[in-house]
Amino acid sequence: MFFAVQFHFLLLKNIQIMKIIHTIKELRQWRQSVQSVAFVPTMGNLHAGHLALVQRAQSEAEHVVVSIFVNRLQFGQGEDFDRYPRTLEQDAAKLRDVGVAVLFAPDERELYPNVAQNYQVEPPHLQNELCGAFRPNHFRGVATVVCKLFNIVQADTACFGKKDYQQLAIIRGMVDDLNMPIKIVPVDTGRADDGLALSSRNQYLSATERAEAPRMFQQLQWLAEQVRGGNHDYVALEQAAAAELTAHGWQVDYVEIREAGSLNVARLGDKNLVVLAAARLGTTRLIDNLEFQAA
């Protein structure tokens, strides 16, 4: 009994030691006091997918830092920056429960002290393809804020979800090209029981839309199965998957098969492939992808 009570006390003690830091100065002071650090950047409104990133980060380093910052630079005109869910208190409780060392939650002036970010990270042509073709400057905003956060946190490792596949590719390229001393760890997409990729934006879906939403992943699975079965007419497969979504009320931005490593347009002979899709269901824009091997 004594040992059970003692263990419970230690568990509670560990849960309660999470620091919430709002300034760069305090975070840098804390960073100097510890050894290995893994980092999970987020925009908050945390769900099970984010917590899976935290769990992976905990296997990579002694301490985990999670940031919560809704980054204005990656939202375009008419997008949901103002209504993006901000749930810091609930998020902090979730992170405390899973043993995160530090929650870094800066306000906008702290991260962008000059208001305008005059120096930005400019990704290559990939930023204008796929999601970038429909969200101008989005990946410039992502790369800029991630670069800033990497410089602030000085982590050894950073974990990113594969759901944002294009984002992951751009971050990896930035780290390689700029010789950043940080290892990028990709983490598989978290999914609901019906296959829908977990996303903070799923809460915008009506009940009817939520019931329809798994169709996107089903179409990705269908397309991958067709390719594995020997169908190499990629354009026709992309068009068929997009048409199926459209027939069920989706507004499709794209369905595309790409080479998984480079995200170049897939060619016959490429073995490691990924099919990516983005479409609106009602007012909610959903994205998903599926990696697979060609026949």
Looking at the annotation, which residues are catalytic? Answer: 50
**What is the spatial distance between Cα 80 and Cα 43, in angstroms, rounded to a whole number?**
13
90 among the known binding-site residues? no
Q: Is 167 labeled as ligand-binding?
A: yes
Q: Any binding-site annotation on 188? A: no
173 is in an annotated binding site: no
Closest CA to 288 of 280, 278, 157: 278
For 171, other C-beta atoms within 10 Å of its C-beta total 25
| Residue at 272: amino acid letter | N
Half-sphere exposure of 282 (CA within 13 A, CB side): 14
- Look up residue 264 and give its DSSP letter: P
Q: Is position 86 annotated in a ligand binding site? A: no
Q: Look at the alpha carbons of 193, 195, 199, 200 in this order and tell me if their dihedral is positive or negative.
A: negative
Residues, the chain, total? Answer: 295
Q: How far from 104 is each of 43, 73, 86, 221, CA to CA, in Å?
A: 11, 19, 14, 37
Q: Per the annotation, does 272 bind a ligand?
A: no
Residue 281 annotated as binding site:
no
Question: Both tokens of residue 77?
Answer: 């005109």
161 is in an annotated binding site: yes
Q: Is 168 marked as binding a ligand? A: no
285 annotated as belonging to a binding site for a ligand: no
Contact call for residues 294 and 270 (beta carbons, < 8 A): yes
Helix 165-177, helix 138-153: angle, nearest 10? 60
| 49 annotated to a ligand binding site | yes
Q: Is 199 annotated as a binding residue?
A: yes
Pairing of strands 63-68, 37-42: parallel
Answer yes or no: is 269 a known binding residue.
Answer: no
Q: Which residues are annotated as a binding site for beta-alanine?
A: 74
Q: Which residues are annotated as a binding site?
A: 43-50, 74, 161-164, 167, 190, 198-201
Q: Which residues are annotated as a binding site for (R)-pantoate?
A: 74, 167
